[in-house]
Structure 1
Amino acid sequence: MLKKEINKTICDELVFKRIYDKYSKNLCDFLYYKYGAQFNPKDKAQDAFIKLWDNCKKISYSKAKSFLFTTANNMMLNEVKHQKVVLKHQQLNHKHYTNESPEFILEKEQFLERYNHVLSNLKEEYRVAFLLNKVEGKKHSEIAEILGVTSKVIEYRIYSAFKILKTELEGFKIK
């Protein structure tokens, strides 16, 4: 008989408010610490409370905390899974056609081959400094720290690599 009364009271607005006041901050903190801010822990906590309200007749007062935390955690796991699918979808190459002429594509491939050949023939220190700067976007000071040399040395290596590439490759330009 006591359980039936408790089941009825969770649907009571005052009892629900007490549950909300008691667990909402802890639930938000739990989600934030476990998943970070990127998946909107406050929103997921609110959604868990909405589900609790929707199921208030089925859930006893003693199971409310467990229901909230389990529901919110499952929502976050679903969101993480969804984000992985979105990321995987974004990484797929969806373009199955091109407006480029076959001649342009061939020239581009030939240029890339020449570029890779010239790049592979550069002195290792030039090539490493150049690629760290132009491909990975690292600053001269970061590269200098990684390689254990001064920024001026890195600047010289990048400039030298660029000069060689420009000499060896017709039309070579970099921003």
Structure 2
Amino acid sequence: MTKELHSNVCDKTLFSSLYEKYAPGLNDILYYKYGANLNPGDKVQEAFIKMWENCSKVTVQTAKSFLYTVSNNMMLNEIKHQKVVLNYKKVSPKDYTNETPEFLMRKEQFMERYEKVLSSLKPEQREAFVLNQIEGKTHQEIADSIGVTRKVVGHRIYAAFDILKEHLEEFRLK
């Protein structure tokens, strides 16, 4: 009965020797089995990285099996991913809309008026409104960033809403 010198592959020199021993053959097998399009060399490298990350669990006797299984699974996952990419490319985006020309014109007019009213707001109101509505920040986050209280931020935002409602009333939905 022989006694093993290493219980796992965490030793750098042992790991290096395993790489030199198994990497070329593993690369050749993956290349032969799947071709060059799926980058078998990259999958070999990733398999060795995964073995290094799990080196305490992998013994010298199971290293070859571990590497071949992991790299083969990576190649299969890549094939599945390529199928998804191909299926996605088959679906063409809509090149039409159900929006009428009148709707598009009213939308454009609304955006012009909205930008005009937004630019007419006081700078502190505009800043608070844009941070809240466009960037999605909370009142407290805005207060912390501009150095005022949360109530002041709330007041500025609601004042901006009031001005926007007043000037954009004809565009309001009924």
TM-score bracket for this pair, using the shorter chain length: 0.5 to 0.7
Structure 2: gaps spanning 5 or more residues:
99-174
Partner of 1:7: 7
Q: Number of paired residues? A: 98
Partner of 2:63: 64
SS in 2 for 1:30: helix
* Equivalent-residue separation in structure 2 for 1:18 and 1:37 (angstroms): 25
* Equivalent-residue separation in structure 1 for 2:7 and 2:46 (angstroms): 21
- Please give the per-residue CA displacement for 1:65-88, whole angstroms capped at 9, x wherever unaligned: 000000000000000000000000
Partner of 1:19: 18
- Please give the per-residue CA displacement for 1:29-60, whole angstroms capped at 9, x wherever unaligned: 01100000000000000000000111110011
Q: In percent, how many aligned pairs have the same letter?
A: 54
* Equivalent-residue separation in structure 2 for 1:79 and 1:7 (angstroms): 32
The structure whose residues are more often helix, as a share, is: 1
TM-score, normalized by length of structure 1? 0.52
Structure 1: gaps spanning 5 or more residues:
100-175
2:45 equivalent to 1:46: yes
* Equivalent-residue separation in structure 2 for 1:43 and 1:98 (angstroms): 44
Partner of 1:55: 54
Radius of gyration: which is bigger?
2
SS in 1 for 2:94: coil
Instruction: Show structure 1 runs of 4+ deviating over 4 A.
Output: none
Alignment of 1:105-144 (within 5 A): none
- Please give the per-residue CA displacement for 1:99-142, whole angstroms capped at 9, x wherever unaligned: 9xxxxxxxxxxxxxxxxxxxxxxxxxxxxxxxxxxxxxxxxxxx
Partner of 2:31: 32
TM-score, normalized by length of structure 2? 0.52
Letter in 1 for 2:38: F
SS in 2 for 1:25: helix
Q: How far is 1:98 from its partner?
A: 5.7
Partner of 2:117: none
| RMSD of equivalent CA atoms | 2.1
Partner of 1:159: none
Is the Cα–Cα contact under 8 Å of residues 7 and 56 in structure 1 kept in the other structure?
no
